[in-house]
């Protein structure tokens, strides 16, 4: 009696496992990395194949989005969405896209608390997942890297420019000093400047005129 009961129990476990496997085979999640800048609006992509959609035949089949363990929205197979809590304020779904198997979620004004894993699960009935996408959302750190890179580039260019300019400046200053020194030692008359000579001649001519009368 005890033995046959335990054998029955054992068999029923095997049958249950077998039934579960055939009814709802485990799905391997597709993982996507989403990187965005603070304050930006982003799309968390989630699309299912026609094969997966064909498996979601029960009348209560739907797609559910979660952030870690927190429920965000349920999207029906016709694209109707119902949000948990106040998630409708920052999240958006696309009804016409969802009706075609694209259950992507739009998130506005990204902040630090949004970083994390988002799960998009296609349910066939309440307890069987037939499609699963994981979106790993992270902040775009390349902006910071770009900024440091740009600062480095700017200071590098500035330094290079100084290296080019300084020898020229030094050369120009020393050249000018040399010219000044030469002018001081041997002052040369400007051959084009005749104003002083002309004045002298006029004074001389006036004097002659006075002497005549
Ligand atoms: C969905 O189907 C189940 C049986 O599979 C039924 O009991 C239930 O009333 C149906 N729900 C709706 C909303 O049609
Ligand atoms: C899914 O729908 C969204 C919103 O309409 C669109 O931006 C996105 O490109 C679509 N993705 C695919 C793979 O079609």
Same domain, 134 and 148: no
pLDDT digits (tens, 9 = 90+) for 164-182: 777 767 777 787 877 777 6
Domain boundary among 140, 160, 193: 140
Which bin fits 116, alpha (ψ -120 to 50), beta or left (φ > 0)? left
What pLDDT score does 196 carry? 53
Q: Whose CA is nearest to atom 2 of ligand 1?
A: 59
125 and 167 part of one domain: no
User: For the residues 85-97, what does the mean pLDDT come to?
Assistant: 94
pLDDT higher than 50, residue 61 = yes
Query: How many separate domains does the chain show?
Result: 2
Same domain, 50 and 124: yes
Radius of gyration of the chain, Cα coordinates, nearest whole angstrom: 43
pLDDT score at 185: 64
Based on the fold, state whether residues 132 and 69 are members of the same structural domain.
yes
Dihedral sign (CA 29, 87, 92, 42): negative
Task: Give 132 Cα–ligand 2 centroid separation in angstroms.
Answer: 17
* Ligand 2 within 6 A of CB of 79: no
Question: What pLDDT score does 81 carry?
Answer: 94
> Which of these ranges, 5-19, 86-100, 142-156, 178-192, has the smallest mean pLDDT?
5-19
Give the Cα-Cα-Cα angle 35, 155, 157 (nearest 5 degrees).
105
59 alpha carbon – ligand 1 mean position (Å): 6
From residue 23, alpha-carbon distances to 49, 55, 213 in Å are 19, 10, 141
Residue closest via CA to ligand 2's atom 14 equals: 102
Q: Where are the beta strands (DSSP E) in the chain?
A: 30-36, 42-44, 62-67, 70-76, 81-83, 91-93, 105-107, 116-123, 129-139
Question: Is 32's C-beta closer than 6 angstroms to any atom of ligand 2?
Answer: no
Of the listed ranges 16-20, 91-95, 118-122, the least confidently predicted one is 16-20
Nearest ligand to residue 48 Cα: 2
Mean pLDDT of 178-197: 63
Question: Is the CB–ligand 2 distance for residue 47 below 6 Å?
Answer: yes
Q: Whole-prediction pTM value?
A: 0.62
Going from the Cα of 50 to the center of ligand 1, the distance in angstroms, rounded, reads 23
- Domain annotation covers residue 29: yes
Q: Give ligand 1 pocket residues (Cβ under 6 A).
A: 59-60
Does residue 12 lie in a domain region?
no
Looking up residue 39, the CATH number of its domain turns out to be 2.60.40.10
The mean pLDDT value for 71-83 works out to: 95
Q: Does some domain include residue 186?
A: no
Q: What is the pLDDT of residues 99-127, one digit of tens each?
A: 899 999 999 999 999 999 999 999 999 88
Torsional class of 39: left (φ above 0), alpha (ψ -120 to 50), beta (otherwise): left
Ligand with an atom nearest the CA of residue 125: 1
Q: What is the pLDDT of residues 23-59, one digit of tens each?
A: 688 999 999 999 999 999 999 999 999 999 999 988 8
Q: pLDDT tens across 202-213, in order?
A: 444 445 445 555
Identify the domain containing residue 72 by its residue range.
Answer: 21-140
* pLDDT for 97 beyond 50: yes
104 lines ligand 2 (CB under 6 A): yes
Q: 159 and 59, same structural domain? A: no
């Amino acid at each position: 009696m005890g033995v046959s009961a335990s054998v029955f129990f054992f068999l029923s476990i095997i049958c249950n496992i077998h039934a579960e496997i055939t009814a709802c085979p485990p799905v391997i999640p597709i993982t996507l990395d989403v990187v965005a800048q603070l304050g930006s609006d982003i799309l968390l992509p989630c699309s299912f194949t026609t094969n997966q959609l064909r498996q979601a035949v029960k009348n209560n089949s739907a797609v559910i989005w979660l952030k870690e363990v927190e429920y965000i929205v349920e999207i029906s197979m016709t694209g109707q969405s119902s949000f948990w809590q106040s998630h409708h304020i920052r999240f958006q779904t696309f009804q016409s896209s969802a009706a075609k198997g694209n259950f992507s979620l739009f998130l506005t004004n990204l902040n630090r608390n949004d970083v994390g894993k988002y799960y998009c699960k296609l349910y066939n009935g309440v307890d069987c997942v037939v499609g699963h996408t994981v979106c790993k959302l992270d902040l775009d750190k390349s902006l910071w890297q770009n900024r440091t890179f740009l600062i480095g580039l700017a200071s590098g260019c500035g330094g290079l420019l100084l290296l080019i300019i300084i020898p020229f400046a030094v050369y120009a200053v020393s050249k000018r000093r040399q010219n000044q020194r030469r002018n001081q030692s041997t002052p040369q008359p400007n051959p084009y400047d005749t104003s002083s000579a002309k004045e002298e001649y006029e004074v001389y001519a006036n004097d002659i005129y006075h002497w005549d009368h």
